[in-house]
Structure 1
């Protein structure tokens, strides 16, 4: 039986198949689509296996949709489907990442892949399949957003610290090196810049987190009402003012004040849905998103130092003069491309554009200080 005879009648929303037997170009294209759909189904199943709860359920359902797309191409290919084509290198990379690493980066990569669906202009794909791919992009975007939110604080600190170390110390080394001073002085300046910058970053992060925690702690309501309630003037009940200041309506505030004064043994007003912040459990009031001040300071110190050490590596291994600066530029450029690319991946944007943007910023700063160093050149003619 020929492939076109095995294909079912188009369902509502599907495009009718082309008449006649498939051509060689069609068969190659269909095999490619089949391989990609099977690869995507596997990727989603792998991600689901590493997830739990609602996210795992959603990923399994998306994998089933990709499998339905694969069955569409199997029906069109008929006996030609027996020979499988290999998925693209990109898909094989995603399979590897989904098998060994967390889902945040893989979902970000999948979001970009789903946004480039080939079915919009494909006559042999159904309208429903093209619509599925557009919906899958939004599903993946939503799932990736949750992971981005979880990583946003730590990831921001890591990228900011590393890039600050890369750019600032490269600019320092290039500026000092351009003056014609001795390699030992350039190395000393680089090490001093590393320590000064890392200590400044660590101290700044410590003060920032500690101050923010102190501000939040100062804003937390206390349990003073439990201790002073028996001594309050019942006719001028200022407990009501406390609860109204916390955001309760007048009726709810009066009800809560009556509870505190002992008129009710429990919260017996089912219509009141306001939760008094002072009654939250201590663990619910922990400022988890901030982390600890010492932890933030240590991570900022390490991230800055990890970036700042790269520009001085050529001097540490004995290179001097222009070759040392050239190697430092190359090493820092590669590091900036990597960090910029990671930002692009997590944000769902082009990693190349983000990487080149970071590279332009870093090299721009290095060029500015290099020109400044030439103006103060200390080499004796």
Structure 2
């Protein structure tokens, strides 16, 4: 085999091996991609739950506002009768169990409470000149104020919704306060269910640049949470969620370690296999070159004595017909002495080339010029 053909064949093998190595690397990266996809799927599931629960909370909050508006409309035409407040409050509370308590304050300072019992004011409920978008309260387009969350019992907090009542003549009748229970607002079907499903959460009410925590199951900020938002009555509600153990849950972490370990093992094995195959090809090529050099004369590129003996033994074993030619160059030493050894070498190369061509022409391709005896 010609040395250049051997070299080209080895290069082709190395190219195929490189393609194989690239394929293995691609498979490894695909495994990493699957791991990232698992994390993305986990976040997508968390987002779906968070959007569902936040929508539920804002809907309940909206029902609290509508309940307040209903009581205000009822008291507009009540002729300041207390029975109207109690009757309406009890009916509305049955419709909306999130309402913990109603209060109606008359201009003279009289306060009606339903259901009867101890009424707990929000600390910032009676602040004068309450800013429109301050932390202590927020006023929406319908002149409704929101306060809280503030404690209403040892185990519960509340959001206060206040709205002024004006009679048809424009006379100020009083102020209605609706207290929404956070515990009832976040009943098991809503936000608290996140904790049961393995998530930490924080529910925030954002007004302007200010944000206040409505509820959370942690006493510290969440790390890299997923946040969903919803706007209602000029306020932005935010729900931040993340798994208890982070997005890299034990299952996903185990999957990642397994994928990377297997990918690394496959990558290392493939790399060693490619390296071994490449080295074997190089050794085989070097062996073929050395074998050729051991039987071929480097100057004339025809068989040397060892090559002649190997070829002669092959012909004897095969019992093929052959012609043995002995050739002597007259005065070759004199030629070397006169023209130099380089000229003598060129003469030998030229003679070997011409005689090889002549033998092939006369004997066909099976003829082999096996050497010279000078």
Question: Looking at CA atoms only, which structure, 1 or 2, has the larger radius of gyration?
Answer: 2
TM-score normalised over the length of structure 2: 0.26
Between Structure 1 and Structure 2, the one with more helix by share is 1
Q: Which structure ranks higher in relative contact order (CA pairs < 8 Å, sequence separation ≥ 6)?
A: 1
Q: Which has the higher strand share?
A: 2
- TM-score, length of structure 1 as denominator length: 0.26
